[in-house]
Structure 1
Amino acid sequence: MQPPRCCLLLILLYLFLLSGTWATLQGTFTFWLLHTSTFQNTSFVDTEAIGLLEDIELGILDKHTWDIHFCQPWVRPALPRRQWDTLDNMLKVYLRNFNLLMNQGAIQKDVPYPFVAQSMTGCKLYPNRTSRVFLYVGYNGQDFLSFNTDSSTWTLSQDTDLARYVRDVLQNETALAEAVTDLLNYICVNTLEMFLNYGRAALERQELPVATVFARTPSPHQLLLVCHVTAFYPRPISVAWLRDGHEVPPGPQLNTSPVLPNADLTYQLSSVLAVAPQDGHSYACRVRHRSLGTRSLLVPWGNSQLLLITGLVAGLLGAVALAALMLLCLWRRRKHQGTEESESRSSILSKEA
């Protein structure tokens, strides 16, 4: 069962009339639906789905009721209720047919249970307003099928009995291919443009990175300099080590972790540089991020810390010297005052005599 073509045409007309009225953001943006179905056996499937604009959660699917729960206050007003109802119906029809087809294929081709099937569907909008759409299907974590909207055909990503069975069934559903093509080429892109307008504040959010440099000593002959950067948003960031002011090139001595999410919807990563203890160089961690503008965050280590300690010692010695000088002046003043008082008393005694 597929959604009526008239519903799709109404949505296309509505989005076409309104798409030119939205102010757009600069940059490349992706709108996608990620879905996972876990097939425990022939009669039980656990289905989950989430909609994303970049890394912003738009809505999640309740796996028990299949109702959509909106994650951002601006998502629901982005489309009129009628359009949301139609898209909601299309999503449920898609998931139901997806699970049915994968189950039938597993039974036909004697595929062992349990297994996991996934799909990633969406569109990407570029700064020059061109777009790219995609639909990928996965099986047990591996590429399985993909859909080509230019030819409305399904392509094998792995040559297995199950993949060929599902591909052949889908290829015979011409109405489904046309509906998917319309959904991706028109509805997805125009919906993305409207989300860009309604979600402008969320997309323009910026959080400054906080960087800390510290050291670990796994052995007496090795020093690991760690630059931990956290609390930044958006996700793209550049972290590099500088040796005597020059960037350390990639190599076995340099290891940078992937960007990982924090619980507060910011990100973190760590960059580790292996050096020889007391190698005589100065080191600094340099962080570049959109929230910093044209500036860079520079956190020093190495000789720069030695200079800091030397400066502190020099300052302390200077303070001690100044205190000693003040005590010497005070002693001399008191000595001078004592001499004057002694001479004054001697003069008085001489006059009295």
Structure 2
Amino acid sequence: MLVPLLLFLAGARLLAAAFPPLPRSYTLRLLQTSTFQDGGVDTEGLGLLDDIELGVLEHRTWAIRFLQPWVRPALPRGDWDAIEDMVRIYLNKFHHLVWAGAVEKGVPFPFVAQCTAGCELFPNGSSKAFAYVAYDGRDFLSYDMGSGTWLLRQDTDLARYVRETLRNYTAFTELVEVLFNSTCVDDVDIILHYAKEALERQVKPVAVVFAKVPNPARLLLVCRVTGFYPRPVSVAWLRDGQEVPPGPELSATPPLPNADLTYQLRSILAVAPRDGHRYACRVQHSSLGGRSLLVPWGNSGVILPAGLAAATVVLVAATATAVVVWMRRRRKYQEMDDSERSSSVRSH
């Protein structure tokens, strides 16, 4: 196992070195959830490149099922086989260690162990690997790749026991280092160039402003922004054209994922009803090409990119004129039709 693995790592490093520098930081994150019960262990796994789902572990075989069409072609089949072998060895050892520790310390079943591990690549060519372990949703242990030591995230008898066990079980620690400090870094550098189109995808936001009235003395203006990608976005409120500074009257949700790999959020501004000011929600996002999306309160169905407001007014005016003309013509035709019907009745 060791010789093929070393050859695999050497080849990956040579291939990764052939690519140009990265424009920004990228993170590959592997998420593992293992539920320990009296009858065995149930493990789920998910791989993410930033916020893009790369693949999942098949429930029974621990084989990788790819979720993006460009992931498999990024590496030869033999490389994926080597990665799957390492993942299986890692999971087997992890399950054995945790199960033995739970029995030794009398930990009641069931319980859940969660792991987050991966690596981050920076534009200057450096990288940082990380590994964290949680127990029933709380931080438990972390691994310091620089010093090669396991660190306590909670000071309990169980955490100290597991840390000491891992210190003595050097084979598992070496596997963690190889998997996340070497293989992860080299493979991400290659996969990034296949993922370029997905990572550079730009989807424009859609915004609407509406109001909630929790009580007669308080009006909540809500700016709902949705359907945008990538995740970074700036949402601000303007009062009479000036940005409202941070304060207790302002609140917002973090960007939350939609089912189609876009994001949404809400920004809320508390105001007094009929305070005499004009309000608008301003959205800034990379997909808008340097422009801003302005949604005024009182006309929340219209989304106005900055610089296009005049054109929008002209379009609305033209539409209104066309509607008036159409209504006049319809009335005229209706009057003519009524006149013809009246003449027809008299002729009979």
Question: Structures share a fold, TM > 0.5?
Answer: yes
Q: Secondary structure at the residue paired with 1:123? A: strand
- CA offsets 1:42-85 (integer angstroms, 9 cap, x no match): x3221100001001010001223322110001101111111110
Aligned twin of 1:8: 5
Letter in 2 for 1:266: T
Alignment partner for residue 65 of structure 2, among 33, 57, 69? 69
Query: Is residue 30 of structure 1 aligned with residue 27 of structure 2?
Result: yes
Q: Secondary structure at the residue paired with 2:209? A: strand
Pairing 1:33-48 to 2, within 5 Å after superposition: 33-41=30-38, 43-48=39-44
Alignment partner for residue 92 of structure 1, among 88, 92, 97? 88
Aligned partners of 1:206 and 1:234 also within 8 Å: yes
In structure 1, C-alpha distance between the alignment counterparts of 2:95 and 2:281, rounded to whole Å: 49
In structure 2, C-alpha distance between the alignment counterparts of 1:175 and 1:106, rounded to whole Å: 20
Q: Alignment length, in residue pairs?
A: 307
Query: Is residue 18 of structure 1 aligned with residue 19 of structure 2?
Result: no
Bigger-Rg structure (1/2): 1
Which portions of structure 1, spanning 4 or more consecutive aligned residues, are displaced by more than 3 angstroms? 302-305
Query: Is residue 245 of structure 1 aligned with residue 246 of structure 2?
Result: no
Q: Secondary structure at the residue paired with 2:47? A: strand
In structure 2, C-alpha distance between the alignment counterparts of 1:138 and 1:171, rounded to whole Å: 18
Letter in 2 for 1:36: T
Aligned partners of 1:24 and 1:193 also within 8 Å: no
Unaligned runs of 5+ in 1: 324-353
In structure 2, C-alpha distance between the alignment counterparts of 1:128 and 1:22, rounded to whole Å: 13
Mean Cα deviation higher: 235-244 or 199-208: 235-244
- The structural deviation recorded for 1:302 is 5.5
Taking only the aligned residue pairs, the percentage that are identical comes to 58
- The structural deviation recorded for 1:132 is 1.1
Q: Secondary structure at the residue paired with 1:95? A: helix
Aligned partners of 1:40 and 1:113 also within 8 Å: yes
Mean Cα deviation higher: 138-147 or 185-194: 185-194
Query: Is residue 224 of structure 1 aligned with residue 220 of structure 2?
Result: yes
Mean Cα deviation higher: 159-168 or 131-140: 159-168
Letter in 2 for 1:224: L
Query: Is residue 101 of structure 1 aligned with residue 83 of structure 2?
Result: no
- The structural deviation recorded for 1:252 is 2.1
Pairing 1:200-211 to 2, within 5 Å after superposition: 200-211=196-207
- CA offsets 1:172-219 (integer angstroms, 9 cap, x no match): 122332332233232211111111101111001110000111111121
Q: Secondary structure at the residue paired with 1:286? A: strand
Aligned twin of 1:335: none
Aligned partners of 1:124 and 1:131 also within 8 Å: yes
Letter in 1 for 2:273: P
Structure 1 pair 14–303 and aligned structure 2 pair: CA distance change class (3 A): closer
Mean Cα deviation higher: 196-205 or 240-249: 240-249
Query: Is residue 137 of structure 1 aligned with residue 127 of structure 2?
Result: no
What is the TM-score normalised by the length of structure 2?
0.83
Aligned partners of 1:283 and 1:304 also within 8 Å: no
Letter in 2 for 1:149: M
Structure 1 pair 61–167 and aligned structure 2 pair: CA distance change class (3 A): same
Aligned partners of 1:24 and 1:196 also within 8 Å: no
Q: Secondary structure at the residue paired with 1:294? A: coil
Aligned twin of 1:57: 53
Query: Is residue 194 of structure 1 aligned with residue 190 of structure 2?
Result: yes
In structure 2, C-alpha distance between the alignment counterparts of 1:300 and 1:129, rounded to whole Å: 45
- CA offsets 1:300-320 (integer angstroms, 9 cap, x no match): 125999xx9xx99xx8xxx9x
Structure 1 pair 279–14 and aligned structure 2 pair: CA distance change class (3 A): same
Structure 1 pair 304–213 and aligned structure 2 pair: CA distance change class (3 A): closer
- The structural deviation recorded for 1:24 is 4.8
Letter in 2 for 1:12: L
Q: Secondary structure at the residue paired with 2:41? A: strand
Aligned partners of 1:282 and 1:303 also within 8 Å: no
- CA offsets 1:253-289 (integer angstroms, 9 cap, x no match): 1110121111211111111111000111111111111
Query: Is residue 127 of structure 1 aligned with residue 127 of structure 2?
Result: no
Q: Secondary structure at the residue paired with 1:212? A: strand
Aligned twin of 2:340: none
Aligned partners of 1:5 and 1:179 also within 8 Å: no
Mean Cα deviation higher: 72-81 or 173-182: 173-182
In structure 1, C-alpha distance between the alignment counterparts of 2:5 and 2:264, rounded to whole Å: 42
Q: CA RMSD in A?
A: 2.2
